[in-house]
Amino acid sequence: MSKTLRIAALAGDGIGPEVMREAIKVLRVAEKKFALSLQITAAAVGWAGIDEAGKALPDATLELCKKSDAILFGSVGLPDRDPTIPKEERPERAALLRLRKEFSLFANLRPVRLSRALAHACPLQADRQGDGIDILVVRELTGGMYFGQPKKTEDLGDGKRRAIDTMVYTTPEIERIAHVGFRAARSRRKRLTSIDKANVLENGILWREVVTQVGKEYPDVALEHMFVDNGAMQLMLRPTQFDVMLCENMFGDILSDEAAALAGSLGMLPSASLGTTSGELTFGVYEPAGGTAPDIAGKNLANPLAQILSAAMMLEFSFGEQKAATAIHDAVARVIDDGLRTGDIYSATDPKAKKVGTQEMGTAVAAAISG
C-alpha cells in the first residue's frame, strides 16, 4: 500500500453533492485497482457551510483543507439566496476566491476536448471542428480584477454611486503563470497563444512584454499574441488553431466558458487550480468549471463527468498517479463511446445515444475502470 493521500471533499451547493458522490465512487474503484490509499473527508462549504456553521468557509473546513494533500471541490453559490447576506460573505467570494488566495493557487488549468462521439453537441458545424478540438486554457487565478484593490462601491450623494474594481499585475505574477503556460505547451503541440488587451490596457502591455521575455526561454514553443476580443471570435471561427491559451484571470474566466461550449457542455470541463510544488506534492483544488445549476439540482440530471475528470486531474497533478488518472480518462471515453449521455450532451438524432442520470453515468465510469 502506498502513502495515504488525504483528500478534502467539499461538495458545496446545487448539483455539487450529487456529482461529488459519483466522483468518489469512481475514486474508490481506482483506489482498489491501483492499490492507492485515499483518505477522503467531507466538509461543508458554500451555502451548506453557512447553514451548518454560519460561514461559507467554516473554520473546521479550512482546517481540514490545511491538513489535506488536495481539495476536491464541487460548486458553490445559490443566487436566489444572495440578497439575504452581504456580498463579501457570499460563497463565491468568501469560499471559492478565499481558498484560491489562501493557498496561492495562481495557475488554473482548464482542458477543453471535443471527442468525436460528441461532435453533435458542439455548436459549430463539422467543417469548423477539423480533426477535433483540443485546447488547454491556462488562466491566472489570484491576480487581476478579481483581487485588485481598491475594490468598492462609493456613495457620491444625490442617489449616485460609483463602483471601482482594479486590475493589477506585477511582473513576477505574469512570469510564473507564463512559465506554467509554456511548460504545458511543451508537453502538447508546442503552440502558445497569449491573450491580452494591449491596445487599451496598461496591464495588457505589461502582460505582452513579460510573456515575450519568458518565451525566449522556450524557443521550441511558437508564441503568438492575440487581443481578447479577437480571441473570442477566433474560438468560434477556427478553434483548431489553438493549443494553449494563456490568459489573465478575468479573460480566462470568460474564454474558458466559451471554449467549454465547444466541447459540448460545461458539464464536461474539469479544472485544476495549482500553487507551487513543495516537496513531492503539488497542492491543488480540483473542480468542475460549471456552476451549481440549481434548476436541475437533486434531480439526478447533472452530468458528473467534469467532477470525475477533475478527480483524475487531482490524481495526476497532486499525486503523480498517472496510471490511475489515465484509467479514469479512458473509462470516461469508453462510456461516451458506448453512447451514455446525460441530458446536456444528449442528442435524439444520435441512434447510439442512451439517456442516463447522474448516478448511472458515475456507475458506468466506475465499472469501465474495474472491467
Q: Does 96 bind ligand IPM (CB under 6 A)?
A: yes
Q: Does 293 bind ligand IPM (CB under 6 A)?
A: no
Closest to ligand IPM by CB, 71 vs 327, is: 71
Closest to ligand IPM by CB, 182 vs 286, is: 286
Given the residues 13, 69, 146, 346, the one annotated as active site: 146
Closest to ligand IPM by CB, 88 vs 280, is: 88
Q: Report the distance separating Cα 188 and Cα 172, nearest Å.
A: 25
Active site residue 127: no
Which partner from the list Mg ion, ligand IPM, none does 92 bind, CB cut-off 5 to 8 Å by kind?
ligand IPM
Active site residue 197: yes
Alpha helices in the chain (DSSP H): 16-33, 47-53, 59-66, 91, 98-102, 126-129, 171-186, 202-215, 228-237, 249-262, 305-317, 322-337, 358-370
Q: Does 287 bind Mg ion (CB under 5 A)?
A: no
Closest to Mg ion by CB, 256 vs 342, is: 256
Count of residues near ligand IPM by CB under 6 A:
5
* Start-to-end CA span in the chain (Å): 22
Which partner from the list Mg ion, ligand IPM, none does 96 bind, CB cut-off 5 to 8 Å by kind?
ligand IPM
Pick the binder of Mg ion from 31, 253, 321, 344 (CB under 5 A). 253
Given the residues 229, 330, 337, 338, the one annotated as active site: 229
8 Å CB contact between 207 and 248: yes
8 Å CB contact between 72 and 10: yes
Q: Report the distance separating Cα 165 and Cα 143, nearest Å.
A: 12
Active site residue 69: no
Cis peptide before 351 (omega within 30 of 0): no
Return all residues near 203 (Cβ < 8 A) that are at least 6 apart: 144, 167, 168, 169, 196, 197, 248
Given the residues 13, 55, 196, 197, the one annotated as active site: 197
- Which residues belong to the active site? 146, 197, 229, 253, 257
Interacting residues toward ligand IPM by CB under 6 A: 77, 92, 96, 253, 289
